[in-house]
Amino acid sequence: MINHALNRAFLPGLLATTLAGTALLPASPAAADDRLLRDVGIGAAAGVVTGAITHRSAARGAINGAAAGAAVSGANSAFGKHPGHRDLPRDAAVGAGASVLTGTVTGRHHAVNNALTGAAAGAAINLLTR
């Protein structure tokens, strides 16, 4: 019974993480630089913390946070981010949007919680990488 419960709790998150890792990282090795990996890590950590605070799944929070981190990293690259020209509202908004989208794809249909997780991840990336 416990084994079945653990499989139901961890396998979806593990599957989503594996699919994201195999789809994103090898597709463009040049893009998998230190900043992208750093932002994904910060986003995942922020997602775990937000999940603990809101009493939601830490694994799904980590998935949403990691997706938000990748989106914030991409947005900063696309918008020509220069050191010293950080935009906290943009990073939080991009993180929130990416997390809501990720929640929809992974079946976690709690848009407000997803947005909160993503916004926290985007804000954490902005504040920690100044």
Answer yes or no: are the C-beta atoms of 126 and 93 closer than 8 Å: no
pLDDT tens digit sequence for 9-22? 555 665 555 545 54
Evaluate if residue 102 carries a pLDDT over 70. Answer: yes
- Mean pLDDT score of the chain: 79
Confidence of residue 8 (pLDDT cuts 50, 70, 90): low
Number of domains present in the structure of the chain:
1
Task: Confirm whether 65 is domain-assigned.
Answer: yes
Q: What is the pLDDT of residue 23?
A: 47
- Within 63-127, strands assigned E span none
Q: What is the pLDDT of residue 112?
A: 92
Confidence of residue 46 (pLDDT cuts 50, 70, 90): very high
The count of C-alpha atoms lying within 13 angstroms of the C-alpha of 114, restricted to the half-sphere facing its C-beta, is: 21
Task: Confirm whether 110 is domain-assigned.
Answer: yes
Closest among 75, 47, 73 to 61, alpha carbons compared = 47
Task: Confirm whether 26 is domain-assigned.
Answer: no
The CA-atom distances, in angstroms, between 98 and each of 3, 30, 63, 74 are 32, 22, 11, 11
Q: What is the pLDDT of residue 2?
A: 54
Task: Confirm whether 2 is domain-assigned.
Answer: no
Task: Confirm whether 113 is domain-assigned.
Answer: yes
Query: How many CB atoms are located within 10 Å of the residue 74 CB?
Result: 15
Model pTM above 0.75: no
Q: What is the pLDDT of residue 87?
A: 84
Task: Confirm whether 52 is domain-assigned.
Answer: yes
Evaluate if residue 69 carries a pLDDT over 70. Answer: yes
Answer yes or no: are the C-beta atoms of 68 and 99 closer than 8 Å: yes
Which two three-digit tokens encode residue 121? 């991840």
- Within the chain, strands assigned E span none
Structural domain that includes position 46: 33-128
pLDDT tens digit sequence for 28-40? 555 457 888 999 9
Task: Confirm whether 18 is domain-assigned.
Answer: no
